[in-house]
Structure 1
Amino acid sequence: MNTISTHPYDALTPEQVLSAVEQCGHFTTGSLYALNSFENRVYQVGITDQADPLIVKFYRPGRWQAAQIREEHAFSQQAAEVDIPVVLPLADVTGQTLHQYDEFLFALFPRKGGHAPELDHQDNLAIMGRTLARLHLVGAQQPFQHRPTLDATSFGHASIEFVSEQFIPLEFRRPYLTICQSIMEHIDERLQNTQPIRVHGDLHVGNILWRDEVPHLVDFDDSRMAPAIQDIWMLLSGHQDDQQRQLDKIITAYQEFRDFPFKELKLMESLRTLRMIHHTAWLARRWDDPAFPPAFPWFDTHQFWEQHIADLQTQLQQLDRVSPGLS
């Protein structure tokens, strides 16, 4: 068994990737292509007895326990059983979708073609609204037992603590903490008494493969308990008036299958701000991964911290605003 070196993924060699796939009963051609992924490692692997390659995803060691990953797979499987278009992990002859090779948990997926959705088209927004309503009907059937909840403590306070104590340049620490304290006073209050369900959790356009007028949802890696609106606000873009028109279209279509959670509209800016805070902490926590500095050269510069604090000040102003639709 190989030992983990400076960083866990240093031990994941091309030979190991191919051996892991063959361990699952597939004969590889030796063709291996790394796909764009940072939290995990994802590869396209050629298979001898089929035209299409397979996708193999190696989960980041220490992030998820096996039970949490199996819950992710089970959620996507439940969605597929009611004809929601999701890209499922492949099961072996015993029905298992999660495998292990040396230190690494991994899963195999079919390769699916498609492109990012054009969400400035009203018809596409309606399709997404109906798809998410159906996904949330499944998500509300039962809670996760092992996966976490998107809350102010883990996404907000813990992220702020890590950045302020272990990463941010000293000259930016005080203004960062000052603005974050004001922000969290808003968010702590607004996230009280929410009714979280199982959601995709990270539904940006990069996790939607659009093909034949159908949005195939991929990468449930960040699936967790959260307000349903978490899967909706990231679909909105542009100025506030544009976002309101987009939201209206989604709401109308969503309500064809599920009552829209209107009470959660007030959470959108809170969730957007939490994502900004959490994303910065995520980069800081992963900075020892050799893949990160070359991919994010703008991070941890004076210009970045100045802009990040300015962006947080803008978000505080948004949280201060009272709007019936997009507050």
Structure 2
Amino acid sequence: MTPAENVGDENNAYQQLSPDDILNAVEALGYPCDGRLLALNSYENRVYQVGLEDTSPVVVKFYRPGRWTDDAIREELEFTQKLAELEIPVIEPLKDEAGEVLHRHGPFRLSVYPCRGGRPPDLENPEHLEQMGRFLARIHNLGETSDFKHRPTLDMDSFGTRARAYLLDAGFLPEDLTEAYSTVSQHLLDGIARRLDEVKAARHIRLHGDCHPGNILWRDDGPHIVDFDDARMGPAIQDLWMFLSGDRMQMTVALSDLLEGYTQFRDFDPRELHLMEALRTLRMMHYAAWLARRWQDPAFPRAFPWFNTNRYWEEHILSLKEQMAALDEPALVWN
């Protein structure tokens, strides 16, 4: 790991990133900035829309120091580029004159993207779900051709076991709720382990990894898929289940629409449906621990003022108890 990959405290590193630093970094890559700068909705990294003279703005992403190695970031960017070459609608990074897409400015690593607008997909629109299914299948077709070598795998240890241990060890939980969290989270991990054991044959492929409606920009020509920062190895269902919402009947209908498009380009293993609630639970546990790990980053208390309150932890534990019941329910059925 180079010094730039491990600069300072990763929770406070962005305090070194001033507006002038951002504009200077973009101008150093040959983009004539006009002084306009807009912070976009990103917290793990820092992402800005930067106005340019006489042309459309660009989006610049500053990677959180210490989170990923250069090799891991390059795998993300190369995966996105290969998807774009296949005419899959992703927002790929812009190359400099040397063909490079990962850049450095001081202690920071960054990439630059064209600016694209859009709206979230309509999850009640069957055509939107079918279209998403088609594009996700094509992403997965490329994803299965090789493995990530420098990026992680979605598993119970990293998303569940370590998340639970961090919250219990770091003192975030109120004293009167610690035992309740400890008990319910351990029961959930036991249930998740059983589900994972039932579907041992689920194939792990390269995924988007965090494919939720907020990472889809819907335009007149269809979806544009953004933010591959959490790309990792895992089962295909991880990129599908977050488009299913509502009660069991509503999710079944949405699943049918999504897989109607998906199976036009790729087979789907219905055994993976048994992983849905396990993956949902792991995401919930991981999200709470992520907020806790980042709480010393000044941007997080401003953006998530409701976190780390008694009410938050009470509601989180209640949601986890509801997941205990969900894990015991039969999987959705795809006809």
Q: TM-score scaled by structure 2?
A: 0.94
- Cα distance in 1 between the residues matched to 2:38 and 2:331: 47
Deviation of the 1:321 alpha carbon: 1.6
Shift of 1:251: 1.4
Report the alpha carbon displacement of residue 15 of structure 1 after superposing the two structures with TM: 0.7
Partner of 1:256, secondary structure, is coil
Contact 1:151 1:191 in 2 (8 A): no
SS in 2 for 1:191: helix
1:237 aligns with 2:245: yes
Distance 2:180 2:124 in 1: 37
What residue identity is the alignment partner of 1:208?
A: I
Give the C-alpha shift of residue 4 in structure 1. 5.3
Residues of 2 paired with 1:197 and 1:187: CA distance? 20
| 8 Å contact kept, 2:252–2:332 | no
Q: TM-score, normalised by structure 1?
A: 0.96
Distance in 1, Cα, partners of 2:176 & 2:87: 53
**Range with greater deviation from structure 2 (265-274 or 205-214):** 205-214
C-alpha deviation, 1:316, in angstroms: 0.6
Which amino acid in structure 2 is aligned with residue 285 of structure 1?
Answer: R
CA distance in 1, matches of 2:51, 2:330: 54
Report % sequence identity: 49
Q: Give me the whole-angstrom Cα distance separating, in 2, the residues matched to 1:289 and 1:174.
A: 28
Structure 1 equivalent of residue 329 of structure 2: 321
- 1: distance between equivalents of 2:295 and 2:260? 42
Equivalence map 1:185-196=2 (5 Å): 185-192=190-197, 193=200, 194-196=202-204
Distance in 2 of aligned mates of 1:4 and 1:272: 33
Corresponding position: 1:48 with 2:53: yes
1:286 partner letter: R
SS in 2 for 1:53: strand
TM-fit CA distance, 1:191: 2.5
Q: 1:264 to 1:323 in 2, by over 3 A?
A: closer
Instruction: Report the Cα distance in structure 1 between the residues aligned to 2:126 and 2:221, rounded to whole angstroms.
Output: 13
Q: Name the residue aligned to 2:101.
A: 97
**How many Å separate the matches in 2 of 1:161 and 1:42?**
30
Per-residue CA deviations over 1:18-76 (Å, capped at 9, x if unaligned) read 111011111111111111111111111111241x1110000111111111010001111
Instruction: Provide closer, same or farther for how the CA distance between residues 324 and 114 of structure 1 changes in structure 2, counting only shifts above 3 A.
Output: closer
Tell me what 1:14 maps to. Answer: 19
CA contact (8 A) 2:63 2:109 kept: yes
CA distance in 2, matches of 1:68, 1:170: 38
Q: Distance between the aligned counterparts of 1:195 and 1:184, measured in 2? A: 21
Distance in 2 separating the partners of 1:263 and 1:237:
20
8 Å CA contact retained: 1:200, 1:231: yes
1:75 to 79, 85, 97: 79
* Structure 2 residue 203 is matched with structure 1 residue 205: no
**1:298-327 deviation per Cα after TM superposition (whole angstroms, max 9, x unaligned):** 11111111111010000011101223528x
For 1:268, give the aligned amino acid: M
Q: Does the aligned pair in 2 maintain the 1:4–1:11 contact within 8 Å? A: no
Partners of 2:173 and 2:297 lie apart in 1 by 18
Structure 1 counterpart of 2:179, one-letter code: R
Query: Aligned letter for 1:29?
Result: D
Amino acid at match of 2:281: T
Written as runs of structure 1 = structure 2, the 5 A alignment for 1:112-151 is 112-151=116-155
- In structure 1, give the amino acid aligned to 2:26: V
Pair 1:228-2:236 in alignment: yes
- Deviations 1:254-280, CA, capped at 9 Å, x for gaps: 111100121110000000000000000
CA distance in 1 between counterparts of 2:66 and 2:175 reads 29
> How big is the alpha-carbon RMSD for the aligned residues of Structure 1 and Structure 2?
1.5
* Aligned residue number for residue 33 of structure 2: 28
1:191-239 C-alpha deviation (Å, 9 max, x unpaired): 2423211111111111001112411000001110011000000001111
Counterpart secondary structure, 1:276: helix
Q: Structure 1: which 4+ aligned runs deviate by more than 6 Å?
A: none
Contact in 2 for aligned 1:183/1:316 (Cα 8 Å): yes
